[in-house]
Amino acid sequence: MKICIVSRVDLKDPIELAQSLGWMLTDTGHEVVYENSVAAELGYDGVSLSSLSFSADLVVVFGGDGSVLRAVRMLLRQIPIVGVNQGRIGFLTDLEREHAGDVLSQLALPLAVAPRMRISIEHDGNPLGSALNEAVIVTSRPAKMLQFETFVDGEKMGEFRADGLIIGTPTGSTAYAMSAGGPIVDPLIEAFVLVPLAPFMLSSRPHLISSRSEIEVQLVSSKPAQLVLDGQVQHEIEEEVSLRVWKSREPALFLDVGRSFFEKVEQKLRLL
């Protein structure tokens, strides 16, 4: 089996663990390659996840949730991915470092995979990107509220004022949306999670909307704003802009290591 290793390169521990587990996987008969930035740190030839020629059976990411999100975003074609937790909480990392070697060394094809819904977003027909956790529209000026109108399949759902709006996925329901008062959603339920940030009216509540729908968000206030995808990609938003959001055609693919979603959430929440 061909395994690509991705890691944080700004910390010593993830790189060292990536190298030692890479050696172990090679010794157990797997073909191991390293993403370019990791390879540069270790003195190997690397591969680019964003290359059309990239291929692997599994991507193993050493880091936290941000590292996993980055790897998913870099992949032109989604392949199975698993994270080895080197961060603090790690909702997206299914393996702890003390168990990672045993689990990875025993893997064989075909892999058990759990698909995770992603969202795509565009403005005036121009794609702005995809997100696994969430797209967030936030004011660029602190203490200045934005005014939104939201539509579902062309029907007006509501109008409200708030500091911003989260359009998330079930995977992202344990991220920013949770801290903003949104529900925790089982990833087996494919839906959009809409959560206003600090809304002016208490009646502006979170909504759970079918993934079969298309969402339109109109920013009707004349204040500068930003669109942030998974906390990593930012776009300046023009005044009175309209954004279209829909379920991405290609989900992220996570290696199923047999951990219950509810067991993992309960365990991770105890660390907060």
Q: Looking up tokens 């007006």, which residue turns up?
A: 156
- Look up residue 3 and give its two tokens: 């395994």
Query: Which residues are annotated as catalytic?
Result: 65
Q: Are 75 and 51 in contact (CB under 8 A)?
A: no
Q: Where does the chain show beta strands of DSSP type E? A: 2-7, 31-35, 46-47, 58-63, 81-85, 95-96, 113-116, 119-123, 126-131, 134-139, 146-152, 155-162, 164-168, 191-197, 207-210, 215-219, 225-229, 233-237, 242-247, 252-255
Distance between CA 140 and CA 102 in Å, rounded? 46
- Look up residue 136 and give its two tokens: 């967030």
How crowded is residue 35: how many other Cβ atoms within 10 Å of its Cβ? 24
Sheet containing 215-219, strands listed edge to edge, beginning at the edge strand earlier in sequence = 126-131, 119-123, 242-247, 215-219, 146-152, 155-162
Distance between CA 136 and CA 194 in Å, rounded? 10
Distance between CA 131 and CA 171 in Å, rounded? 10
